[in-house]
Every structure is written in structure tokens, then in C-alpha cells.
Structure 1
Amino acid sequence: MKCRLIIVFPLLTLSAAASAQTDARILSLPTQVVLGSERSENDIRLPLARDTVSGDRLQPQTAGANISEALQRVPGIVALNRQNYAQDLQISSRGFGARAQFGVRGVRLVQDGIPLTMPDGQGQPALFDLDSLQRIEVLRGPLAALYGNASGGIVQGFTGEAPFYPTLENRSAIGSDGLWRSRLRYGGQHGPLNIQANVSRLETDGYRDHSDTRRDLANLRLGWDIDDASSLTLLINSLDQPETQDPLGLTEEALREDRQQAVSNAYRFNTRKTVRHNQAGLNYQRRLANDDEITVMVYGGERYVQQYLAFPGSGEFAGGGVIQLDRTFGGGEIGWQRQSEAFGLPVELAAGLTYDYQGEDRLGFVNELGVKGALQRDEFNRVDGQDAYFITTWTLAPKWTMTAGLRHSQVEFESEDDYLSDGNDDSGSVLYEQTNPALGLSYQWTPALSVYAAVGQGFETPTAQELAYRPEGSGLNFALSPARSLNSEIGLKLRRERTSVSAAIFHTSVDDEIVTGPDQLVTERSTYANAAESTRKGFELALEQRFDHGVSAYAAYTYVQARFHRYNTGDGDLSGNDLPGVPNHSLFAELAWQPPGTGFITAIEAQGLSERYANDTNEDQAAGYAVFNWRAAYRHEVAGWAVEPFVRVDNLGDKEYIGSLIVNGPGGRFYEPALERNWLAGLSLQYQWR
């Protein structure tokens, strides 16, 4: 029987012996949120690499449709716009997630404590409510493993509090290739209620042929201050993206002929994707009389996907060229937190239990030249994730701070095969289980400078999509193992009034790295396998300096050497090859000017990536590039109104380059070209009732 009910009965009984309360909070260890993500003067004492993007940098004179515009300025993160809304963005952290051919994996996505990453480890960045975000927190390195499956990095969005006075805003923009986006947003505080709501629509013809897109989003956040000690937050998100055309990746030859063309099979099979996603979450927090704090979070939703692929899928074990997924998902978390003392030293404790579920009807049909044909696959797939965690931070001495944690995770995949006319019952299940410890130690050298070191274990299960096909035969590929990692890092942080510096050196070794299977290179099915071992080592640096007269400069640089340490395939020994999709060098830099006392701002940006390989054999690659962008805006306020026109020009030099890669793409279709010179212009109108 296919279970459609999600029943979550989390139970947690914890006790702690502690004698006294501290006068002030030491560090923030919230449960569903990123470690240390509550903004605190003590951030410099946290032994981790963590960056915040807030204010105007969240939507730097952009259409506000893609989180990649904000994330590209974070060291260690590569965030790429595919120019293909049928496949979403590419986001990787220190090489984790670079192989993803669609969606985001290896990096966990969270908004306001509600996971946007499913229990199998795959997330959709289009679900972020960018129009209401106050800031984005990005965590990388060993301590990220304390947040469960596929946490090579964590990206979490925080919705801001609504303005005190009711405020209504419209922000609209037009740009190259028929781009148009408009949003309507309302925010206000009404007694104990805090309301934020917005709706938006995006339309574009796309840079490439066969790329038409329409995407509608609606989001609601209700905050209720129940009393001085407790609060309740409700979040509702909805996405509707019908019939988004997919131009597919280009071969090197096709790229030279016409970089804007779509693959011929995109027209022949009318490749396209429809997505409908609805989700709701409830977050309750209460501080008890003894200064304990409890948090209870529950969420649930449904997701429907129908995708037309570039082949018929009519052969034996093919599974169809039209994929239809009907998913329900949900879960919950209960967490506990305490500020206390032990052995006369300040200590903070946090612990909790989580449960996540996804159940999915998967159907496959023959793609008869863009029309849904005969049934080829019918199954129900279920994923259950259960976690228990404990995190503690100790102030060992006035200058020494230790953070340690442990997380135990169980992820079970189960498949019930209802397509028995082929004579095979491919039902089955597999359980992945892992306990991940992590430890960090920081030393505050001076009030403005700290150094730290951290080490931790992590793991990454295959996603449901990666398990979907076996190299031979039908059914899920239960022989695929999770990747297991050992992460280490040392770093420093400098925080002065006008200067900010962050630097980190990291090393990661991964056993059973999940890679694209060799069969995908000769068939259209996406199959996956395990490589024996890979390593990632590198360096991150972020510099920010503010000058007189409103001038500021910022730069983020990352060096990553990501290689297969041991990897043998039927085609030979690939040990020593670079991991595809991971550039050795990446850079973002910005010089901005905002004259004091005016509403004017302008900036020049520079972005660049070094060469990236397109496949495991390192036989094909995308050349490195550097491009420059310019943006400007002016904000004027009068009598309750605020008017802000803005303009942006990307790729000022009109350079032709590859924006993103489809790693190990079938038929050599690796390349997704970026836009040449393109423009955007928009206007924001806001009225506030005072």
C-alpha cells in the first residue's frame, strides 16, 4: 500500500546538570539554522568558515530571480546560472555538488529553519523567497557535517522582519532576450502579528533557442509574538513553472556553429519540463524559565514534475522518455538549547531529533516525438531520514573556544515496483547509516583577530534520481554506496571598523565518490557509480575595505585542487585526473561608490573562473574567462514614497564563454554557453503608510 500520510511523533527527553546561568549568550547554536547564524559580536570566535550576504548585495540591481547573483561573491562557492530554467542553477561548495546535472546536491538549502533540500540530498534553489530575504548565511567546512546528509556546505536564507509601518512595493525589470520580471510585496506589523507576502512572475524567451520560460512564485510569512518568551512562524511557498523549454547542452562542434542554437533532438522530442511545488512550514520557539529554549518545527508539501527527455525511452529497461513524478514530503524537528556553566566555565548545549520523509509516484512513458506514449515504468519510491544530534560550545579560557558535535543519520530508500508486465519485480530497499563527529577550536589572538582549526566527518547518499537507473536491467541501483568524507580546515578572521579579512586552508578526502557511470556516455540513461577515492584541497580568501567618501572594495578568491586519488574504470585508470566541473581558481571582485547623504550607488564587478574539465577523462574542457559588469541605482524618498530606478550591464566586453557544464553529458553535449553583453533596467516603487 502506498503511504500518503506523514505522521511525525518526535520525542525528546534530555537533562543537563548545570549549576548557574551565564550573564549573556556566548555563541548561538540554533537547531534548524546554521551554526552561529544569529548575528552576534562573538562571530569571530566561531571555528568555522561562514559568510553573510545582506542588504543591497542580496539583489545588486538584478532581476531578483536567481540566488546565484548573491552567492557568487562568497569564497568557496561556485554559483552558476545555466541560462536554462528547466534545470535550475548550479551551486557547489569546495567542489561538492559540481557534478549535479540538475538541481543542487552536496549542498544543503534551508530557509527560516525549513529545509529546501529533500531527505535524499537534492534541493531546488528556485524555492528561495529572494524577495523577502534579509540575509543569506553560507557555512562551509568540517562543522557543516553536523547538519546531516549531503552537507558539503549549507546555504540558509533568513526572511526579514516586516517593517513597523505597513508597506507596499512593486519592483519590475526588463532586459535582454525578452526578460521581464515583476513582484508585488506587502509587509507590516499589526499588533503581535508580523506579515510578509509577495507574488512574482518571470518570463523570458531565453538566450538560446527553445528556452521559453514562465515562472510564478507566491510566498507568505506570518510571525506571531505569542508572549515575551515564545513565538510562532508560519511559512507558505508556492511555485508554478509550466512547460519550460529545455535547449539541452551543446557539443563543441555545435558551439562553434551557433552558440544560441538548441540541439536538434530538443525540437524532435520537444524537450520541456513542468514543475508545481507547494510547501508549508511551522516553527515554534519558547524560552523556559530556567533559560532553556525549545524549538519545534514541522513542514510538508507536494511536488509535481513532468519532463520530456531527448529520446524515446521505448527499449527494454529504458524506463521511458517522459518522466512523471508526483511527490509528497514532510517532516519535523524538535530541539533543545541551554546556556549554562560547567566546571565554572560558560557552556552552551544544543540537541535534537529530526525526521524527514518523501514518497514519490514515478511513472515513465515513451516520448513519441513530444507526445506522451505507452507506459514504460510505474513505481512508488520512498525515502525516510532520521537524525539525532548534539552540539556544544565551551569557553575554555578567556581567549579559547571549543565547538564539538555529533550527528547520527539514517536514510532509507525503498521502492515498490508496480510495472510487472516486463516480467521483473524490481522492488527493494537499502539503508544508509552514518555517525559524524566534528570538532573545532578557536583562539582570539586580539579583540579583532582570531585563528581556528576544525576537523569533521561527513557523508552524502545518492539522490533518488541517481538511484533511478541500473547500469543493466531495470529498477533502482541499490549497489550505489554513499560517499564518505573527512574534512579539515585552519583559518583566521580579522574584523576592524573598516576592514574585514577571512582566510581558510582546507583539505578533504572522499571515499566512494559518486560519479556519472560510464554507461551514460553510450546510452541516454543517467547512471551513477562509485569512484574509489578523491581529494580536495585549497585556499579561500575574502577581503573587504571601506574608504572615505563612500568608496568600498571587496574581493573573494578561491583555489581548489580537486582530483581523483584512486579511480579505475573499464576505460582505464583515471587516478590523478581533476574532478570535472571544478575550477582551480575562481574570483569575484567589486569596487563600489555610494556618496554619503545621497541615494546613488554604482559599482564595477569582475568575475572569473579558470579552466574546467567537462568529463572524468579530462579530454574535454571549458576555457577560463574573466568578465566585467556595471550597475547603478538611485533611491529617492518623499512623503511616504520611495522611488528607485536601476540599471545593469553584464559582460561589458561582449565575451563569448561557457557559463556552466553538464558534467559527463551524453553524446559530448557538455556545454551551456553564457550570455554575451546583456542589459537590465528596472524600477522599484514603494509606499509606506505612516
Structure 2
Amino acid sequence: MTRSPRALLALAIAAAVPAQAQQTPSTLPRVTVEAARLQGVSAFDTPASLDRVDLRAANASPGVNLSERLAGMPGLLARDRQNYAQDTQLSIRGFGARATFGVRGVRLYADGVPATMPDGQGQLSHFNLMGGDRVEVLRGPFSALYGNSSGGVLQFFSADGASPDEVDVRAGAGSHGSRSLGARWLGRQGRVDYNLAASVFDTDGYREHSAARRESFNGKLGVSLGEQGRLQLVGNHVNLPDAQDPLGLSRAQWQADPRQATGVALQFNTRKSVRQDQLGLVLDLPVAQRQKVHAVAYGGQREVRQYLALPVAAQANPLNSGGVIDLANDYGGLDARWSWQGQWAGRDVEATAGASADRQIQQRRGYENFVGDQLGVQGALRRDERNRVENRDLYAQLWWQLAPAWSVLVGARRSAIDFASVDHYVRGANPDDSGSVRYAETTPVAGVMFAPTADWRVYASLGRGFETPTFNEVGYRADGGAGLALDLQPAISRHAELGSKWRGDQWEWDLALFRADTDDELSVASNLGGRSTYRNVGQARRQGIETAVNLSFGQDWQWQLAYTWLQAEFRDGFLTCARSGCATPDTPVAAGARIPGTARHQFFSRLAWQPAVWSAAAEVIAIGDVSVNDIGSESAPGYALVNLEAGRRWQWGASSLRAFARVDNALDRDYVGSVIVNEGNARYYEPGPDRSVWLGLEWRR
């Protein structure tokens, strides 16, 4: 007899409860996480799904993409697209799954500095793993305390410098002409600590026309101000010059030759260049007994130039903005919060209140991607506008230990987001497209935690979140008229989560059930002339189960397991465009259709052996089938991959040398690694690489 995931979950809880009641309490490390904005409360005692990945642990991965280190996190799907002209695909509990480029629906931070712009569009390309210390991920209702597009929160932290100084040099090379070189210098001199990390990565690419180079630098300089005060200067730089874009493949193309590029990619020499420079100041300062101020100020520039495969004929339309995108972004902001730890009614309490303001000013230009008969070059100007997005937010939260075994966490955020565009390209049949719109939402959250034993926690939480359209989505109106799609409404979500956490001397087990119901879900309205437009399509639901287990066997063996079951579907039927050239939605999407880009099942297992000298590990990663469009007419098949790695360390006094090797897709399976949701030409599929080998050396002193 088969059982549903809900039935299996009930059996697991029933089996776990009596066993835990008989356990002898053990002493656990008190780990706090920044994502919860709590200073005196551990992640174990927080009524939310929180995970932390240690980036400094020895590993055999290339150290290029953040997706390498996130595979074992339940509820999170990070896909390396084998295409450096497009950023890593990242979704949390189905939020962000429909993004065709960049990250949206999930809030991103690097050392406290937002990597998500006020409109909700984010990037991962400047996260430098060489200098990294840890990644923290917050899932569920409390993500809403971070404002717009908070289907989840991912925070990257670089390491703090310490004494004695540590120098780390890492080099590697592997399949498909890939090679990397990175170095990091950590140290402290008196009150000043530092972390300087730089890396360069080159690849010929698994697919035709997918060569790329990424140059990255991250620096963090910290100054102790005494009495636990600290000021940090954080700077980073990333440069991706002319990363080739092979575009997606149709199903027939993928099956015929997964390494090929789409013909028009070669014809138009599709590619993208990105350059970003950013500085941030982070201040932590005690201001009174058990009171502290945390403040972040930042600013940066990001330039993007992308050559698309937009047909020349489509650009004959006077409203078309051309096949070359030229974006110059200036951005910056402030975030300051006050926190206090004390007692209320004889019980521990922690309060936080803060405000943030962010601004993004974007100079967007569009050009024809041809000059005469020559394709793939910058031609005549077709778009010139200045876009501005600003947000001003207030937020507060309160944690209270209301009884020995009970605690509560409540909070709320008020967000106001202004979009404005000034059109400088007003010619002939192309009218003035200027316009503005404001979105404002309040997002309350609340959670309660119960501790039946010292090693067991049960919690429930509720919250409300919202997601505005990005500037890319308001850029074109669904009716084909001039101007921005300022009639789009933010998607409003109601989140609920029920979870349990267990801890032992050598094991951890987390379990969570979640549901998020969304009104005014955004989806594609039309695909015309190489452009997608969007509209609100009614209700959607994302619900599921997450579980993660970590076991240690003695001192040398560790086993990690994670599983996610996700049901993500449209609750209302609607009409959409299901083909290129469609101007008016005419194809029905039935209520209950799966939200594209989401996988129903996600599984990860890693068994590692790591004594003092040798190390080895085996991984299994399995992803269920993924629908690629709203109507569900096609899907990328599910797959399971086996990855292997091994290493050997030599020690000479204070210096060490580690050699390592990794084999990805060891069984050489054919699979689709990522999909381009609702691609207008039905080129949905981005193939994953065949069996790939990576060899590396790492020297530390």
C-alpha cells in the first residue's frame, strides 16, 4: 500500500515523539544566526527554518559558484546553468522559480549589504567564495521582515581576520577547459583585522559558445572600537567580460546534441558583460547596558551590456527597444537598527527596531543589434530612459521567553516602494513612456516555540509577504501599447509553517511543513518580438514538507540527508500566450497547473570520511521533473546524479598542502540542469554537463 507524503510525515512524527521524550538532555553549542536578527537567541530556539553552511570547511569543489555549496539545504534549489551570461537560478520553496535571469523573489545579502535591488531583482555573481566564511538561509514566514520579494533570505558572510595571519592559495583545473586560481589573506594587527580574497576563473564551457571569464575580489577591513564595538569596511569587485550565451535548446535539439548552441546564438554572437564595484560600512556599537546599534551604509555601480538574438524584423516596430541592452545602475542605501536584551515580567526579552532606505537609479538604453547586414553589433539607439526605484521601510520585532518551555517571536515591517521612469527617447510613433507608481504594504509575522525537552523544539509561525514586479517586468505593457505596465499589482502571500527540531550529541534532525497562498500571482501574458510581458493571474499555492538529518559517526564519518516535497500550483485558471508572436493570451491554463520551474521532489545525500590526512565523500543528488511553461505541455525529466571526491593533506609545521579531486555526474547521465521558464520560442532546456573531473591543490600557512 502506498502512502502520501502527509501520511509518511505523520508516521515520522509519531515515531520520533516517544523516542525523544526518553532522551537524556545533552549540551549543545549555542549557534546564533544573523538572518533572524536575534543576538541572544540560538537558531535552535528560533521559531523558523534556519540553516547555515560553513564555507571554510575543506571541500573539493571548484569554488566558483555558490550553488556548489547549497545542494544539501532543504527547500532551496540552486542551479548552475552552465551559462555565465546568466546568473545562478535560485528558488526557496518555489519562490523565485520563474526567474529567467538573475534572482527574484528571494532576498540576498553579502556581509549585511543588500544584493537585491529595491525592485526585487538580485544577483549572486559578486559573492566571492574564496573569502567566504558561511551562508545563512532563512525560509518561511519570518522572511517577510526583510521586505519586498522575501520568499526567503540568503546571506553570505566573508570571514573575519584573526591572529596569526593565514594565507591560502588554491588552484584547480578540470573538464571543458575550466581552470581557476584564488588567494586569500586573513590576519589581524592590533585592533585591525583584514580579509583580502581574489580569484579568477576561465572556462571554454560545456556547450558550444559558452566560454567565460570571471574576475572577482572581496575585501573586508575591521576595526575594534572596544567594549564589543566594531566597524567594518567591505568592498567587492566582479568583472565578466563578454561571457558567451548559448541560449536554451528545444527538446529535440537537446536530445540530438546537448552540447550545441542555438543557431541564432552564433548568428548574433549572443553575450553579456558585467562589471560591478561596491563599498559598504557596517557598524556594531553598544550604546548602553544591553543595548546595541547596528548600521549599514553602502553604495555601488553595476554595468551590464547584453547582446540578444532578437530578429531584425522584430525591430521594425517603432516601439521595439532593440536587441542590445545597456544598463548602468547606481545604487545605495542605509539600514539602522537598535536592539535591547533585558527582562520583562521576570522573563528574558529581546527587542529590535529599525529603518532602511534604498535607492536604485538605472540608465537603460537599448540599441539595434545590427548595422546593415552585420549582426551582433551595436546599432542605432532605440531606447533611452532613466528609471528610479526607492524604498523606505520601518520594522520591529520582539522575542520573549514567556514561560520556561515557551517563547514567542513577533514582528512587522512597513514598506513603501516608488517606481518612476523618465523617457528620453520620444520620436515619431514612439511616444513618451514616462510614468510612476507606488506600492505600500505592511507584513506582520508571529511565531511560538515550545520546548518539550532540552533537545526538542516544536514551533508554529504565520506571516504575510509581498512581491512587487521588477523593472524588467513593468518594462512592457501586455496590451502592446506605449509606456510601462504600471497597472501590475504586487503579489500578496500568506505564509504558515509548523516545524520541529531535534538535537543530540552527534545528530540533528529538522522537519517542517509549510504553506504559502498568494493572491495576484505574476505570470507571463505575451511573448512578442522577443519580449515578454506580464500580468496578475489570480491565486497560487506553494506547500510542502522539508526534512534534514545530520549524523556524525565517531570523529571521522559524517552523513547528511535532505529531502523536500513541494506542491506549487496555480489555484485559478487563466489565459496565456504559449507561442512566439502571440500578442493576446489565448491558451487556457487550468486551475491546479504546476508553477513552472519547480520540482515536486528534491533529494540530497552525502557520506563523508575525513580523518586527519585522507578524505573522501560520495553524494547523490536527485531532482524530480520540472514543468517548463504555464500550460504544462512540456517538462524537463527528473534525474539522479552521483558525485565523488577525495583528498590528501600533507603538513609541514605551520604550512599544509592539500590535493583534491572531484568527479561530478560520475555515471555520465544525460540530464537537463536548468530550464528557461516560458521561453517564447520553446527553447526551454539548458543541458547539464556530462561526466566532469576537477583536480586541485590548496596551500595554507
Normalising by structure 2, we get a TM-score of 0.91
1:41 to partner: Cα distance: 7.4
1:359-381 Cα shifts (integer Å, max 9, x gaps) = 01100001111111111111000
| 1:292 and 1:337 in contact (8 A); partners too | yes
Deviation, structure 1 residue 160: 1.8
Per-residue displacement from partner, 1:376-395 (whole Å, max 9, x unpaired)? 11100000011100011000
Q: Is the 8 A contact 1:319 1:364 kept in 2?
A: yes
What pairs with 1:435-446 in structure 2 (closer than 5 Å)? Answer: 435-446=442-453
1:623 aligns with 2:637: yes
Distance in 2 (alpha carbons) for counterparts of 1:573 and 1:539:
26
1:383 corresponds in structure 2 to: 389
Code of the aligned partner of 2:366: G
Alignment check: 8 A CA contact 1:562 1:579 kept: yes
Correspondence for 1:303: 302
Aligned amino acid, residue 356 of structure 1: D
Pick aligned residue for 1:579 from 595, 599, 603: 595
Q: Please point out which of 359, 365, 371 is paired with 1:357.
A: 359
Instruction: Determine the structure 2 residue equivalent to 1:337.
Output: 339
Deviations 1:70-110 (A, max 9, x none): 11110000010000000010000000000010111111111
Equivalences for 1:118-129 in 2 at 5 Å?
Answer: 118-129=117-128
Tell me how far 1:574 sits from its aligned partner: 2.3
SS for the counterpart of 1:532 is: coil
Give the direction of change, closer, same or farther, for the CA distance of 1:314–1:243 in structure 2 (3 Å limit).
farther
Matched, 1:550 2:556: yes
> Cα distance, 1:52 vs. partner?
0.9
Find the residue that maps to 1:144 and give its secondary structure.
helix
Written as runs of structure 1 = structure 2, the 5 A alignment for 1:163-562 is 163-311=162-310, 312=312, 313-368=315-370, 369-422=375-428, 423-471=430-478, 472-517=480-525, 519-520=526-527, 522-548=528-554, 550-562=556-568
CA–CA separation in structure 1 for the residues paired with 2:103 and 2:589: 28
Match of 1:137 in 2: 136
Name the aligned partner's letter for residue 109 of structure 2.
V
Letter in 2 for 1:279: Q
For residues 227 and 460 of structure 2, the distance between their equivalents in structure 1, rounded to whole angstroms, comes to 38
Contact 1:29–1:391, Cα closer than 8 Å, also in 2: no
Residue pair 2:56, 2:133 contacting (<8 A) in 1 also: no
Per-residue deviation at 1:290? 2.2
After TM superposition, which residue ranges in structure 1, 4 or more long, deviate above 6 angstroms? 27-30
Greater CA drift, 390-399 or 156-165:
156-165
Residue 635 of structure 1 corresponds to 649
In 1: Cα distance, 2:364 partner to 2:559 partner:
50
Q: Per-residue displacement from partner, 1:133-178 (whole Å, max 9, x unpaired)?
A: 2111111001111111111111111222223112222101101100
How far did residue 36 of structure 1 move? 5.3
Give the Cα separation in 2 of the matches to 1:228 and 1:46: 27
Q: 1:28 to 1:478 in 2, by over 3 A?
A: farther
Residue 15 of structure 1 aligns with which residue? none
Q: Which residue of 2 aligns with 1:19?
A: none
- The SS at the match of 1:143 is helix
Deviations 1:167-216 (A, max 9, x none): 22210110110001101211110110001101111100100000110110
Give, in angstroms, the shift of residue 56 of structure 1.
5.3
Partners of 1:413 and 1:171 lie apart in 2 by: 44
CA-to-aligned-CA distance 1:266-296 (integer Å, 9 cap, x gap): 0111100010100000011111232210112
| Per-residue deviation, residues 600-636 of structure 1 (Å, max 9, x unmatched) | 2110000011111000000010111101000112222
Quote the residue 1:18 is aligned against: none
- 1:62 equivalent to 2:61? Answer yes
Distance 1:476 1:183 in 2: 44
Paired with 1:526 and 1:606, the residues of 2 have a C-alpha distance of 36
**What SS does structure 2 have at the residue aligned with 1:320?**
coil
Counterpart of 1:35? 36
Residue 473 (structure 1) shift: 2.4
**CA-CA distance at 1:42 after TM superposition:** 3.2
Distance in 1 (CA, whole Å) between partners of 2:382 and 2:562 is: 49
* Structure 1 residues 67-146: aligned runs within 5 Å: 67-146=66-145
State the alpha-carbon separation in 1 of the partners of residues 222 and 555 from structure 2.
Answer: 39
Deviation at 1:523, TM superposition (A): 3.4
**In structure 1, which of residues 594, 604, 612 is the aligned counterpart of residue 626 of structure 2?**
612
Does structure 2 conserve the Cα–Cα contact (< 8 Å) formed by 1:28 and 1:37? no
Q: Secondary structure at the match of 2:380?
A: strand
User: What SS is found at the alignment partner of 1:145?
Assistant: helix
CA spacing shift, 1:121–1:612, aligned 2, 3 Å? same
Structure 2 counterpart SS, 1:255: helix
CA displacement 1:476-495 (0-9 Å, x = unmatched): 21111111100000000001
- C-alpha deviation, 1:55, in angstroms: 4.8
Distance 1:56 1:161 in 2: 12
- Do the aligned residues in 1 keep the contact of 2:515 with 2:541 (CA within 8 Å)? yes
Query: Cα–Cα, structure 1 residues 37 and 213, in superposed 2: closer, same or farther, change >3 Å?
Result: farther
* Aligned mates of 2:360, 2:305 — CA distance in 1: 17
Are the equivalent residues in 2 in contact too, given 1:36–1:46 (CA < 8 A)? Answer: no
1:409-446 CA-partner distances (Å, limit 9, x unpaired) = 01111000000113411100010110000000000110
What is the alpha-carbon distance in structure 2 between the residues aligned to residue 431 and residue 306 of structure 1? 28
Aligned pairs, number:
654
Could you tell me which residue of structure 1 aligns to residue 20 of structure 2? none
Aligned partners of 1:29 and 1:36 also within 8 Å: no
Task: Give the fraction of aligned pairs with identical amino acids, expressed as a percent.
Answer: 40
Counterpart residue type for residue 44 of structure 2: I
Q: Which amino acid in the other structure matches residue 87 of structure 2?
A: D
Could you tell me which amino acid in structure 1 is paired with residue 272 of structure 2?
K
Which SS does the other structure have where 2:69 is aligned? helix
The residue that corresponds to 1:660 in the other structure is 674
Give the gaps of 5 or more residues in structure 2.
Answer: 1-29, 576-585
Distance 1:88 1:237 in 2: 17
Determine the structure 2 residue equivalent to 1:12: none
> SS of the residue aligned with 1:454?
strand
Report the more deviating stretch, 666-675 or 111-120. Answer: 111-120
Residues 515-562 of structure 1, C-alpha deviations (whole Å, 9 max, x = no match): 122x12x53102222110100110000011111361221100000000
Distance, in Å, in 2 between the alignment partners of 1:28 and 1:511 is 36
Give the deviation of 1:661 after TM superposition. 0.4
Shift of 1:343: 2.2
Residue 646 (str. 1) matches residue 657 (str. 2): no
Instruction: Give secondary structure in 1 for the equivalent of 2:681.
Output: helix
**Unaligned runs of at least 5 residues, structure 1:** 1-26
| SS at 2:471 equivalent | coil
SS class of match (1:211)? coil
* CA distance in structure 2 between the aligned counterparts of 1:232 and 1:660, rounded to whole angstroms: 40
User: For the Cα contact (< 8 Å) 1:29–1:337, is it kept in 2?
Assistant: no
Aligned to 2:259, the other structure's residue is in SS state: coil
Shift of 1:29: 9.1
SS at match of 2:426: coil
Aligned to 1:162: 161
Give, in whole Å, the separation in 2 of the partners of 1:204 and 1:34: 34
